[in-house]
């Protein structure tokens, strides 16, 4: 009952406020207390397990903590950028491992992101055809691998791609003897070059290098073992991204399609010049999510290969874990994590710059952006501008 007088103040806040400021602040005050109470569990948990950890790890990355006692104890010394320096220019094993991990993951990103984007778009276009029967069955089948855990999928792939596994059995029907996938450390590019008789690189590449490994090694391509993880990533994520593309395709109005049809555009032209440009915002989302996800490969490596064979499936995320928890090099592990963070941020920005709207004359761009502003449903439209 006591709240009754407050009700008009809520419905017409401006006038109510002028008439009785004290009562207004009473209601607002109660709401403010409730508001902070409601969000406090979230603030405590995210603060404690997200913000504080980042700050603490920032400290560890510039300290010589060895894992014993608290990193905040006075015995732990400040070493400045030494941990970072050892990673980038130390020349020792630390640099070499870091270079190798970056090389492996860069190839992984370079292959997974385009393939999964193209495949998910392809599947979405196929499933979204108007006269398709059994659409939901196809959609379900393609999405299913995405719900299972990375551990279970890795176990399955370890079996499928084992020396005597399903994939090699399949290849044997085609009279191809498949490699021992997970034990094969040869780089794919090197394998191809080897097939045409090139076994050692030119001195220009083998004598110089970056981050402790030669350019020839950088260009080796993903190892055969890493290629399996690449296939696995495409297998498990294409379904999710397919759903995003389907949603975007359904947003495209039939009229635009129809206009293109009337103009006599072939199906390919309709796709290339009508559908694809309209999917740009979704493309942006998919590539961004892909990039972020691909630099975080950890579960698969932990479950499957632990970085082997010959460190060719080592990734920065796994190296960071390994240096800290197994090598007790906590400063180095934390430094790797921060470098990884920086890589992800920089790449996202670069990608945003490259995928921005361009090639559209200024005046048309203005029209386009007001239109995408109107239909708030267009995903990522705001992020692009």
Partner 1 sequence: MSATTTTAAQRADHARELRADRSAGRRRVGTVAVYAILVLFVVIYIYPFLVQVATSFKPDVEAIASPLSLVPRTWTMQAYNDLLLRSDFPLWLRNSVIVTLLVTAGRVFIDSLAGYALARLQFRGRGAVFAFLIGVMAVPGVVLLIPKFLVIKQLGIYDTFAGMIIPLLADAAGIFIMKNFFESIPKSVEEAARIDGAGPFRTYWSVVLPMATPALVTLVILSFQGSWNELSHFIVATQDPDLRTLTKGVAQLASGGLGAALRYPLKLGAAAIMTIPVAVLFFIFQRRIMNTTTGAVKE
Show contacts with partner 1 in window 9-48 (CB under 8 A): 10-11, 28, 30-39, 41-43, 45-46, 48
Among 185, 292, 310, 368, binds partner 1 (CB under 8 A): 292
**How far is it, in rounded angstroms, from Cα 112 to Cα 241?**
13
Of the candidate spans 87-95, 97-105, 164-172, 202-210, the one that interacts with partner 1 by CB under 8 A turns out to be 164-172
Beta-bridged to residue 303, according to DSSP, are none
In order of 125, 211, 285, 372, the CA distances from 243 in angstroms are: 11, 39, 12, 21
Asked if 271 is part of the footprint of partner 1 (rule: CB under 8 A), the reply reads: no
> Which residue in 15, 19, 169, 272 binds partner 1 (CB under 8 A)?
169
**Binding segment toward partner 1, per CB under 8 A, in 105-113, 161-169, 219-227, 270-278:** 161-169
- Least Å distance, CB 1 to partner 1, is 6
**Rounded Cα–Cα distance for residues 155 and 140 (Å):** 22
Among 12, 72, 346, 350, binds partner 1 (CB under 8 A): 72
| Residue 236 beta carbon to partner 1: minimum distance, rounded to whole angstroms | 10
Based on the shown chain and the rule CB under 8 A, indicate whether residue 258 belongs to the binding site for partner 1. Answer: yes
Binding residues for partner 1 restricted to 75-114, rule: CB under 8 A: none
Q: Select from 85, 214, 285, 369 the one that contacts partner 1 (CB under 8 A).
A: 285
What CA–CA distance (Å, rounded) separates 33 from 35? 5
Which residues 172-231 are close enough to bind partner 1 by CB under 8 A? none
Closest CA to 329 of 48, 55, 79: 79
Which of 118, 137, 171, 366 lies at the binding interface for partner 1 (CB under 8 A)?
Answer: 137
- Least distance to partner 1 from the beta carbon of 61, Å? 9
- Residue 99 and residue 209: Cα distance in Å, rounded? 10
Tell me whether residue 220 or residue 236 sits nearer to partner 1 (CB atom): 236
Instruction: Pick from 89, 206, 306, 328 the residue near partner 1 by CB under 8 A.
Output: 306
Considering the rule CB under 8 A, would residue 295 count as an interface residue with partner 1?
Answer: yes
| Of 203 and 353, CB closest to partner 1 | 353
Compute CA distances 155 → 152, 168, 252, 312, whole Å.
5, 17, 40, 19
- Binding residues for partner 1, how many (CB under 8 A)? 114
Judged by CB under 8 A, the stretch of 105-113, 140-148, 179-187, 193-201 that binds partner 1 is 140-148
DSSP 222-271: SBHHHHHHHHHHHHHHHHHHHHHHHHHHHHS-HHHHHHHHHTT--HHHII
Q: Please, are residues 223 and 185 in contact by the beta-carbon 8 Å criterion?
A: yes
DSSP assignment letter at 309: S
Cα 355 vs. chain centroid, distance in angstroms?
A: 16
Does the protein bind partner 1 through residue 278 (CB under 8 A)? no
Prior bond of 309 cis (ω within 30°) = yes
Q: Which of 87, 228, 283, 334 binds partner 1 (CB under 8 A)?
A: 334
- 180/214 with CB nearer partner 1: 180
Q: Is the CB of 42 or the CB of 196 nearer to partner 1?
A: 42
- The verdict on 66 binding partner 1 (CB under 8 A) reads no
In 241-266, which positions are buried (b, 16+ CB within 10 angstroms) versus exposed (e)?
bbbbbbebbeeeeeeebeebeeeebe
**215 CB burial (10 A radius; 0-12, 13-18, 19+):** middle
Q: d(Cα 310, Cα 381) in Å, to the nearest integer?
A: 44
Q: Which of 17, 183, 302, 368 binds partner 1 (CB under 8 A)?
A: 302
């Amino acid at each position: 009952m006591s709240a009754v007088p407050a009700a008009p103040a809520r419905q017409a806040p401006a006038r109510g406020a002028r008439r009785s400021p004290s009562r207004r602040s009473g209601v607002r005050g109660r709401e403010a207390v409730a508001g902070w109470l409601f969000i406090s569990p979230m603030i405590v948990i995210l603060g404690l397990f997200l913000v504080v950890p980042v700050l603490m790890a920032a400290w560890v990355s510039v300290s010589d903590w060895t894992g014993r006692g608290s990193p905040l104890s006075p015995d732990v010394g400040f070493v400045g950028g030494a941990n970072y320096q050892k990673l980038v220019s130390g020349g020792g094993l630390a640099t070499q491992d870091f270079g190798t991990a970056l090389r492996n993951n860069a190839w992984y990103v370079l292959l997974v992101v385009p393939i999964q984007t193209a495949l998910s778009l392809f599947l979405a276009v196929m499933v979204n055809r108007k006269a398709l029967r059994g659409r939901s069955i196809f959609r379900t089948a393609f999405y299913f691998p995405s719900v299972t855990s990375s551990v279970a999928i890795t176990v399955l792939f370890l079996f499928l791609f084992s020396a005597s596994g399903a994939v090699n059995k399949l290849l044997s029907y085609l009279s191809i003897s498949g490699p021992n996938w997970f034990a094969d450390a040869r780089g794919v590019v090197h394998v191809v070059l080897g097939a045409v008789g090139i076994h050692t690189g030119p001195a220009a590449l083998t004598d110089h290098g970056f981050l402790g490994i030669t350019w020839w090694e950088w260009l080796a391509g993903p190892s055969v073992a890493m290629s399996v993880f690449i296939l696995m990533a495409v297998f498990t994520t294409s379904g999710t991204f397919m759903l995003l593309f389907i949603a975007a395709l359904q947003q495209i109005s039939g009229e635009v399609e129809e206009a293109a049809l009337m103009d006599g555009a072939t199906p390919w032209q309709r796709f290339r010049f009508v559908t694809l440009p309209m999917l740009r915002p979704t493309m942006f989302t998919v590539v961004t999510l892909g990039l972020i996800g691909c630099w975080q490969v950890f579960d698969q490596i932990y479950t499957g290969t632990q970085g082997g064979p010959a460190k060719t499936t080592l990734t920065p995320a796994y190296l960071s874990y390994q240096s800290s928890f197994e090598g007790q090099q906590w400063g180095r592990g934390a430094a790797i994590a921060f470098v990884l963070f920086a890589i992800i941020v920089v790449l996202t920005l670069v990608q945003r710059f490259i995928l921005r709207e361009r090639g559209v004359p200024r005046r048309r761009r203005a029209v386009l952006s007001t239109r995408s502003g109107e239909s708030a449903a267009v995903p990522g439209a705001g992020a692009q501008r």
